[in-house]
Amino acid sequence: MPINTSPQYIDLKNILHHPDKSITYISNPKAACSTIKNSLLGGCTGNVHRAIEEICEYPNDSNHEIITITRNPYSRAISCYKNKIGWGKETTGNVWLPFARAFGFNAHAKPTFLEFLKALSSTKINPSQFDIHYRPQVFTLHSKDITPSYIGRIEDINSLKLFLEQNSIKLLTRNPRPTGSTGTYRDEINPEEASLIRLIYAEDFAHYGYSTDLSAMADPAPIRQKPWISERYQLRFRLANLGLTNRDLKRIAARHKKSGNLMASLILKQHLLTMRPNSNKLRASISQLEERIRAQQNKNKDWRDKSYPSPTREKRNSHDRNTDPQKYLSKIIWMSRPCP
């Protein structure tokens, strides 16, 4: 049975823009993420994940290097299992304990690799909502909204090292808990397990060019391409850099609606819908606003036809309606930013 791969809302925590190096790294757990973070930091003796988050922000545009690293889905799946799945494998339990609760395992259980894969393949949980360590890479790397300028391969560290050096970054290896799965997975995975991995990670194989043949020895080459960030993600980044959340955006939209600036409220809610496309309540609210705006415009037209000035706030703000929606949105967000 095919896996439901329609993405739901995915958080942005693994998108890390280093302002001093003008590079954005999309972190991919189980694919040299500790090493890349350590390299961007120039070396770190503490927790690289916390340290990198303290200095990074979200990108303002796509006019710079956007990089990520992928890993063969077979190798990544068994590496995650070895490191994270089962009692006693983690010092914190941050991955195992939520997994056990979500998939019905006893907290002290030690499931087999096959049991782990069967749980993932049979769940009703959308794969885009899996923990980032075993989530399909197409979701983790935000493939529908971001096109990286460079996609490296964990299987080709030499090419990755050369790319980083070209950007004045020294590759500083850091692998606190190596599993060795990159070189051994072909001998460790049986046919039934391989079949489940192909099912769960079908989009990863197709999108990133990995062969579904478990015995294949060749891995895809790194990719260089023009970077791109979708409009909805650019909005999410601007909001996040201003310290605004979706809840703040809803609050600002409500404030504009109450003050009579229906167009501002509509634009904000339309952009909220791009981030929450399955929200029927938001769609209904947008439809109501559109009806009110159309009614207001018809009323204004009647006044103009009678050579009377329009008494409404919408008339006074008519110049805003004719501006570029993106520029207007930026203006709304800027005027609504929190005071320092």
Arithmetic mean of pLDDT, 104-130: 95
C-alpha 69/C-alpha 91 separation (Å) is 26
Tell which wins on pLDDT, 309 or 103. 103
Arithmetic mean of pLDDT, 6-28: 88
Tell which wins on pLDDT, 249 or 288. 288
Q: pLDDT at residue 319 above 60? A: no
Q: pLDDT at residue 83 above 60? A: yes
Q: pLDDT at residue 97 above 90? A: yes
What are 10-17's contacts with CB under 8 Å, separation 24+?
10/128, 10/139, 10/142, 12/58, 12/236, 12/237, 12/240, 13/53, 14/132, 14/140, 15/58, 15/59, 15/142, 15/146, 15/237, 16/40, 16/52, 16/53, 16/56, 17/56, 17/57, 17/58, 17/59
Task: Give the helix/strand (H/E) hosting 224.
Answer: strand 223-224
Arithmetic mean of pLDDT, 145-174: 95
Three-state secondary-structure class, residue 150 = strand
Q: Which residues contact 53 (CB under 8 A, 6 or more apart)?
A: 13, 16
Q: pLDDT at residue 246 above 80? A: no
Return the ∠ at Cα 173 (arms to 168 and 174), rounded to 5°: 130
Arithmetic mean of pLDDT, 191-202: 98
Please name every residue paired with 66 in a beta bridge, in sequence order, or none if there are none.
24
Arithmetic mean of pLDDT, 239-265: 80
Arithmetic mean of pLDDT, 3-9: 60
Q: pLDDT at residue 261 above 90? A: no
C-alpha 92/C-alpha 32 separation (Å) is 20
Residue with tokens 């049986």: 190
pLDDT level of residue 180 (50, 70, 90 thresholds): low
Nearest to 181 by CA among 288, 59, 321, 84: 84
Tell which wins on pLDDT, 338 or 273. 273
C-alpha 103/C-alpha 94 separation (Å) is 15
Q: Which of 169-173, 177-181, 315-319 has the largest mean confidence? A: 169-173
Q: pLDDT at residue 88 above 80? A: yes
Query: Are 25 and 152 in contact, with CB atoms under 8 Å apart?
Result: no
C-alpha 274/C-alpha 270 separation (Å) is 7
Dihedral of the alpha carbons of 23, 24, 29, 30, in degrees to the nearest 10:
-40
Q: What is the pLDDT of residues 44-67, one digit of tens each?
A: 888 999 999 999 999 989 999 999
| Number of helices followed by number of strands (H, E) in the chain | 17, 7
Q: pLDDT at residue 323 above 50? A: no
Tell which wins on pLDDT, 278 or 116. 116
278 DSSP assignment: T
Tell which wins on pLDDT, 278 or 212. 212
Q: Which of 98-107, 233-242, 258-267 has the largest mean confidence? A: 98-107
Q: What percent of the chain has pLDDT over 90?
A: 57
Query: Are 121 and 4 in contact, with CB atoms under 8 Å apart?
Result: no
**pLDDT at residue 316 in the model:** 46
Please name every residue paired with 150 in a beta bridge, in sequence order, or none if there are none.
67, 224
